[in-house]
Amino acid sequence: MKKVLAFALIAVSLLAGCGEKKAEAPKVAFQSTDLTGASFARDFALTDHNGKPRTMADFKGKAVIMFFGYTQCPDVCPTTMAEMSEVMKQLGPQADQVQVLFVTIDPERDTQKLLSEYVPAFDKRFLGLYGTPEQTAAVGKEFKVMYNKVPGTTPGSYSMDHTAASYVFDKQGKIRLLLRPGQPASFTVHDLKLLLS
């Protein structure tokens, strides 16, 4: 009876030890908003600025940063793209495992030619993506991106109100993070290194 009791006490203490170790296991701590397990932003069908049809599957094996904007945006779009360029510099050789995508929400004005000049100006590895107004609307809905036209003084001088955050996807193409506009490049670099490790 004493042996059984002693064995039971040892078993309980071992189980308690296991429980404590599990509780102490390091949790992945992202600097950005963690969207792991979200059921939106699963895929898209657009064309890149070289004229090649693209889906998320084309970038499997790379972390993907996706930003929705337009080339005539005066503030948040060029600022975000410049920040992404800085992120790539800070990543060094690991930058080759990251794909930045700029999705236009202004297909009326953002032609393939315009995107091919605008997007690679920030980093030659960046890709601009565009679609028909219908394709753009479908992608906006799937990715929960809001955008709408704000009339200007002439029909062609309108601006676009739009969601200013960026999404990050892991190497399997699953949504993982939301990057807030203006967050430090070091936060994004930290999080990308976690996803790439």
Domain ranges of the chain: 30-196
Residue 185: closest CA among 118, 88, 74: 88
pLDDT number for residue 11? 40
Q: Annotation-wise, does 18 bind a ligand?
A: no
pLDDT number for residue 12? 38
Rounded Cα distance between 68 and 51, Å, is 18
Sign of the dihedral through C-alpha 95, 99, 126, 37? negative
CA-to-CA separations, 73 to 109, 118, 127, 146, in angstroms, rounded = 12, 11, 17, 15
Token pair listed for 64: 């993907």
Token pair listed for 116: 């091919």
84, 123 contact by CB (below 8 A): yes
Q: What angle do CA 159, 84, 132 make, to 5 degrees?
A: 45
pLDDT number for residue 155? 85
Q: Which CATH class is domain 30-196?
A: alpha beta
DSSP 171: T
pTM for this structure? 0.84
pLDDT number for residue 27? 60
Phi-psi region of 140 (alpha: psi -120 to 50; beta: other; left: phi over 0): alpha
Residue 65: closest CA among 116, 31, 94, 99: 99
Residue 142: closest CA among 42, 67, 58: 42
pLDDT number for residue 156? 85
Rounded Cα distance between 66 and 169, Å, is 8
Rounded Cα distance between 122 and 94, Å, is 18
pLDDT in tens, 37-54: 999 999 999 999 999 999
Rounded Cα distance between 10 and 145, Å, is 56
Low-confidence ranges of the chain (pLDDT < 70): 1-28
- Sequence-distant (6+) residues with CB within 8 A of 160 are 70, 73, 105, 106, 147, 148, 149, 150
Token pair listed for 54: 């693209």
pLDDT number for residue 75? 92
pLDDT number for residue 3? 45
